Amino acid sequence: MQLLKFALSAVLMGSLFSVTACSKKDAESSSNNEITATTPVSGEASTLTERNAQQRFITTLQANFDKAGLKAKIINVKATEIPNWFWVTLEGFPAVLASSDGKYIFQGDMIRLGESAIHNVSEDLQAGDNKAEFAKLKKEDLIVYPAKGKTKHVIYVFTDASCPYCHKLHEHMDEFNSKGVEVRYIAWPRGEQFFPTMQSIWCSEDRKSAFNAVISGLPVVANECQNPVMAQYQLGTKIGVNGTPAIYSEDGRYLAGYIEPDALLQRLNEKR
């Protein structure tokens, strides 16, 4: 299970990441239960009192963010299976669990016990948000390697052309594709110094060739253009990406950092 920590300003920054990914730190050193800031936590409230109580929750939580100097804007809130805790989606930051009194927030793995296998409640909630974000992406803004033959799976990979583990993953591209996996690259430069290269790749007429060139150690020169690199980087930060590669299934579940094709296919089949 992946334990995600996030930054709300400079106060809550940190993460655990697999050794099979290149970290930013290394480089630099809607469901029916969704609500917005003006709608009820559990859908249509039956009474004015309930609507007012739910709006007070949002108002109180936002006020507590502001008092703490956490520059996080609440986008929507979703009821969860955990009594008196809500899933709160924030603008520009990963979502958090928040207590119904607005006094406590939690970001990490909330585990449900009592069954033969443990169940990661937080992962389910985050995956739902991720799936919605991935659905908004335009294929023309990505680098797409289609499956050969029938497409069995689609994965989204946050990548940085400077990352050795991304290079290693890229070496298996033909094998991924031959196993029916379509790979969609999302730009995620691990540091400010890597933005120009990634933007040059995304501005190239042939992004695949440009990506391959950078991996081979060749320079890429491209005209400046309107490109989605910053927006894609912000998306990764929002959902908790902290290193590359970061692989997600089409339904929004985090799968792995670097992984070989057979192991990836096994995880994809397990997630069905």
- Catalytic option among 22, 129, 184, 190: 190
- Catalytic option among 163, 184, 203, 253: 163
The order of strands in the sheet holding 254-256 is 143-145, 181-187, 153-159, 246-249, 254-256
- Catalytic option among 22, 166, 207, 253: 166
Q: Which helix (H) or strand (E) holds 98?
A: strand 96-99
Dist. CA 176–CA 169, nearest whole Å: 10
Radius of gyration of the chain (CA): 20
Q: Is 203 assigned a catalytic role? A: no
Q: Is 272 assigned a catalytic role? A: no
Dist. CA 245–CA 176, nearest whole Å: 15
- Catalytic option among 160, 203, 207, 253: 160
Q: Is 163 assigned a catalytic role? A: yes
Dist. CA 19–CA 68, nearest whole Å: 33
| H-only helix segments in 42-178 | 48-67, 121-136, 164-170, 173-178
Q: Is 207 assigned a catalytic role? A: no
Dist. CA 106–CA 84, nearest whole Å: 13
Dist. CA 38–CA 41, nearest whole Å: 10
Amino acid (one-letter) located at 202: W
> Is 241 strand, coil or helix?
coil
Dist. CA 86–CA 121, nearest whole Å: 12
Dist. CA 252–CA 263, nearest whole Å: 18
> Is 94 strand, coil or helix?
coil
Q: Which residues are catalytic?
A: 160, 163, 166, 190
